[in-house]
Structure 1
Amino acid sequence: MNRSDGRLPADRRVRRHVLALAVGSVLLCAIGATTDSMWLLGIGTWLLIAAVLLELVYRP
């Protein structure tokens, strides 16, 4: 039996979106911190907030 038994394709899609938002957030925050760019840090922070909210709202 594998982990994805009982999950719908929509659940996997949401998981992929949350993962993509989190990875994008980490990359933008890292680049923003190294280049001292507040815009990139802010966008990275909002991406992380969106990923957390999406995970909290869409709980399979």
Structure 2
Amino acid sequence: MIPKDPIMLLSWMNTQLRDHYASLDDLCRSENLERSAIESSLASVDYVYDPDTNQFT
């Protein structure tokens, strides 16, 4: 289960991206997550996915 709190979600997502996945699409596919929901939640705390660094910044 992924964290609901956006700040906790940010930490979890970036850790997963850094340690296990080559892209956000790979992570979402593997974990059966809706990319738009993740991006919306993290945008609410002013973070967006950067494919060049493979993290939310």
Q: TM-score range by the shorter chain?
A: 0.3 to 0.5
Structure with greater Cα Rg: 1
More helix by share: 1
TM-score, length-scaled by structure 2: 0.37
TM-score, length-scaled by structure 1: 0.35
More strand by share: 2
